[in-house]
Structure 1
Amino acid sequence: MLFNSYEFLLVFLPLTFIIYFYLNSKKLITLSKIFLVIASLTFYSWWNVIYLPLILGSMIFNFYVGQFLGKKRTKQMLTFGIIGNVALLGYFKYTDFFIENFNWALNKDVELLHLALPLAISYFTFQQIAFLVDSYRGETKEYNFLNYALFITFFPQLLMGPIMHHKEIIPQFQTKWKSFIKWENVALGLFIFAIGLSKKTLIGDPLTDYAQYAFDNAQKLSMVEAWYASVSYVLSYYFDLSGYADMAIGIGKMFNIDIPKNFNSPYKARNFADYWKRWHITLSRFLSDYIYKSLGGNKSLVWVMYLNIMITFFVSGFWHGAGWNFVVWGLLNGIFVVMAHMMKKANLEMNFYVAWFLMFFGLILTRILFVSNDFADAWYVTTTLFDISNLRFENLFYIDPYLQSFYIVLALYLALACKNSMEISENFKPNFKYIFYTVILLTASLFTFSSAKEFLYFQF
């Protein structure tokens, strides 16, 4: 079920909201939590009910391993729990990748399994690994299974994050006043949701339409088309993913639950180290807390710190997708982050605009790797960006330059010159002006639902 669908916005969300708070108003707190878990699992199963036992089995496994670690912290049990999670993720996400490489390396012909990737498996796996590590560190409490299930399945963040810590959400569901409707939070939540929905449907989707079509025909692009496609994809990815995060935060706020922000104007950064502090913040936090710091972080020699950064970004790249292009994408990001740290250590500082341009151009290069079907397409698009012999302004097959220019300029203006959604919401007041903005954004977005598109990160 998509956030940008009639069944979600007009049926699922209002019904879930009404029944949940009705049960709470009758002081049926446990029943209201059970209902919310069932509603969330229904939301998840809407895609394919066959994967419902998978997420249930994963939750039961991690809950009891976490309970054991809370009582008796042993590295053996922690290792067992992490291996169990990685094995589940690896089977569905990477089996065909390893078979393909095995066949290539040894000239074999082992048949691929063609496994469908269960929705959200990358997210709920990381979230539960974090829970196990925190349990081993003695940072969790004695939570019952219902509270744990609510932490994992709470539907706004289930499919694409933000990746949350147990301590960020479970205590909130145990706070008495959060069990009752607060209309100020409902109004604020709807406003944030409307911003996120409009980012996705009114800006992200049109940019994605062109960019994806262009990259599917990458070998036919001219220089102009390559630039339009590459810039469009960089912008579409931000508006698509941050739009989802805004919607998740907004829905959480309606239920009196504060979900951590996931984006902080990442395209305003001037280097990749700053960019990764602003982009997909909860994923960066997970990688920092459970990969980078576990390797020693910056407590060792400088070259060891740089190696730790590269290993962390290798994991990030491999998490994003089962393909060598994702691995190279991760390593390239790691190199850019290391370069930023080197410059800071050497007290080198660029002109603001030069630094921003280099950062944004780096994003273009890395996103080309991210979206391309293979290295051949990525190399063609990258070289075509500078291929003057392929420069033409007529007979452009893949774009309406005027319409695409409008979306690119609008997206750049919103991403670079305006406050982000979290900054805008800080000044929110439940008055006519903000209600008007909410209604306009929701209404405009509703007209796009007939051609609703999945979120780009669903593939992970």
Structure 2
Amino acid sequence: MLFNSYEFVFLFLPITFFIYFYLNSKRLVTLSKIFLVVASLVFYSWWNAIYLPLILGSMVFNFLVGQKLGKKNSKFMLTFGIVGNVALLGYFKYADFFIENFNWVLNKDVNLLHLALPLAISYFTFQQIAFLVDSYRGETKEYNFLNYSLFITFFPQLLMGPIMHHKEIIPQFQTRWKSYIKWENVSLGLFIFAIGLAKKTLIGDPLTDFAQYGFDNAQKLSMIEAWYASTSYVLSYYFDLSGYADMAIGIGKMFNIDIPKNFNSPYKARNFADYWKRWHITLSRFLGDYIYKSLGGNKTIAWVMYLNIMITFFVSGFWHGAGWTFVVWGLLNGIFVVMAHMMKRANLQMNFYVAWSLMFLGLIITRILFVSNNFSDAWYVSTTLFDISNLSFSNLMHIDPYLQSFYIVLALFLALACKNSMEIAQNFKPNFKYIFYTVILLTASLFTFSSAKEFLYFQF
């Protein structure tokens, strides 16, 4: 079930909202939690119920391991839990990748498994690994399976994050005043949801259409078309993924739950170190807390710190996709982050506009690698960006220069010159002006639902 669908907006969300708070108003708190878990599982299994036992089995496994860790911080049990999660993720996400490379290296012909990737497996796996480590560290305080199920399945963040900690969400569901409807939170949540929905449907989707058409014909792009396609993809990923995060935060707010923000104007950064502090914040936090710091973080000599950064980004790249292009994408991001740290240590500073331009160019290059089907396409598009001999303003086959220019300029203006959604929400007041904005954004977005598109990160 998509957030940008009629069945979600007009059926699932209002029905779930009112039944949940009705049960709480009757002081049926346990029943209200059971209902919300069941509703969230219905939301998850809407696409394909075949994977419902998978997430349920994963939850039971991690809950039992976490329970053991809460009683005794056993390194063996922690390792067992992490290996179990990684094995599950590895089987579904990376089995064919390893078979393909096995066949290539040893000249074999082992049949691929062609496994469909279960929805949200990367997200709920990381969230549960974090839970196990937190349990080992003594940072979780109660082990009720119903609360744990609510922590994992709460539908706004189930499919694409933000990746949350147990201690961030469960205490909120146990706070008495959060069990009752707060109309100021409902109005604020609807406003944030409307912003996210508009970002996804009115800006992100058209940019994705332009870019996807270009990359489907990657080897035929001219220099101008390569710039249009690659810039469109850079912008579409931000508006698509941050739009989802806004919608998740907005829905959470309607339920009186504060979901952590996931984006903080990342394209306003002037280097990659700052960019990764602003982009997909909860994923960066997970990688920082559980991989980078576990390796020693920055509490060591410089070259070891740089190595830790590279290892962390290697994991990030491999998490994003089962392919060498994703691995190289991660390593390239790591190199850019290391370069930013080197410049900081050397006290070297560039002009802001020069620094930003280099950062954004780096984003374009890495995003090309991220979205290309293979290295050949990525190399062609990247080199074509600077191929003056392929410069042509006529016979542009793969873009509509006028319409696409409008969307690119609009997206750049919103991403660089305007406040982000969380900053806008700080000034929210439940008055006519903000109600008008909410209605306009929701109404405009509703007209796009007939051609609704999945979120770009659904298959991660």
Q: TM-score range by the shorter chain?
A: over 0.9
Residue 46 (structure 1) aligns with: 46
> Partner of 1:459: helix, strand, or coil?
coil
Deviation track 1:317-356 (CA, whole Å, cap 9, x = no partner) reads: 0000000000000000000000000000000000000000
Residue 314 (structure 1) aligns with: 314
AA aligned opposite 2:179: S
Query: 1:143 Cα deviation (Å)?
Result: 2.5
1:7-156 matches, within 5 Å, as 7-156=7-156
AA aligned opposite 2:66: G
Q: Which piece of structure 1 moves more, 136-145 or 192-201?
A: 136-145
Q: Counterparts of 1:52 and 1:421 in 2: how far apart (Å)?
A: 33
Deviation track 1:94-127 (CA, whole Å, cap 9, x = no partner) reads: 0000000000000000000000000000000000
Residue 171 (structure 2) aligns with: 171
AA aligned opposite 2:296: G
Residue 337 (structure 2) aligns with: 337
The two structures have a TM-score, normalised by structure 2, of 1.00
Query: 1:129 Cα deviation (Å)?
Result: 0.2
Q: Counterparts of 1:242 and 1:37 in 2: how far apart (Å)?
A: 25
Q: Is the 8 A contact 2:24 2:180 kept in 1?
A: yes
Residue 277 (structure 2) aligns with: 277
Q: Counterparts of 2:399 and 2:54 in 1: how far apart (Å)?
A: 42
Deviation track 1:382-411 (CA, whole Å, cap 9, x = no partner) reads: 010011111111111111100000000000
Residue 363 (structure 2) aligns with: 363
> Partner of 1:394: helix, strand, or coil?
coil
Residue 449 (structure 2) aligns with: 449
Q: Counterparts of 1:246 and 1:205 in 2: how far apart (Å)?
A: 16
Q: Is the 8 A contact 2:5 2:449 kept in 1?
A: yes
Residue 4 (structure 1) aligns with: 4
AA aligned opposite 2:310: M
AA aligned opposite 1:74: S
Q: Counterparts of 2:323 and 2:212 in 1: how far apart (Å)?
A: 18
Q: Is the 8 A contact 2:197 2:442 kept in 1?
A: yes
AA aligned opposite 1:339: M
AA aligned opposite 1:118: P
Q: Counterparts of 1:376 and 1:290 in 2: how far apart (Å)?
A: 34
> Partner of 1:22: helix, strand, or coil?
helix
Residue 394 (structure 2) aligns with: 394
Deviation track 1:151-190 (CA, whole Å, cap 9, x = no partner) reads: 0000000000000000100000000000000000000000
Q: Is the 8 A contact 2:156 2:248 kept in 1?
A: yes
Query: 1:55 Cα deviation (Å)?
Result: 0.2
Query: 1:300 Cα deviation (Å)?
Result: 1.2
> Partner of 2:213: helix, strand, or coil?
helix
AA aligned opposite 1:103: N
Displaced runs of 4 or more, over 3 A: none
Q: Counterparts of 2:245 and 2:143 in 1: how far apart (Å)?
A: 26
Query: 1:216 Cα deviation (Å)?
Result: 1.0
Q: Is the 8 A contact 2:63 2:143 kept in 1?
A: no
Residue 180 (structure 2) aligns with: 180
Query: 1:225 Cα deviation (Å)?
Result: 0.3
Deviation track 1:50-97 (CA, whole Å, cap 9, x = no partner) reads: 000000000000001000000011100000000000000000000000
Matched, 1:267 2:305: no
Residue 300 (structure 1) aligns with: 300
> Partner of 1:457: helix, strand, or coil?
coil
Give the length in aligned residue pairs. Answer: 460
AA aligned opposite 1:304: V
Deviation track 1:10-41 (CA, whole Å, cap 9, x = no partner) reads: 10000000100000000000000000000000
Q: Counterparts of 2:362 and 2:415 in 1: how far apart (Å)?
A: 17
The two structures have a TM-score, normalised by structure 1, of 1.00
Q: Which piece of structure 1 moves more, 445-454 or 386-395?
A: 386-395
Unpaired runs of at least 5, structure 2 = none
AA aligned opposite 1:27: R
Residue 197 (structure 2) aligns with: 197
Q: Counterparts of 2:81 and 2:217 in 1: how far apart (Å)?
A: 43
Residue 252 (structure 2) aligns with: 252
Residue 404 (structure 1) aligns with: 404
Q: Counterparts of 1:399 and 1:425 in 2: how far apart (Å)?
A: 35
Q: Counterparts of 1:151 and 1:143 in 2: how far apart (Å)?
A: 11
Residue 214 (structure 1) aligns with: 214
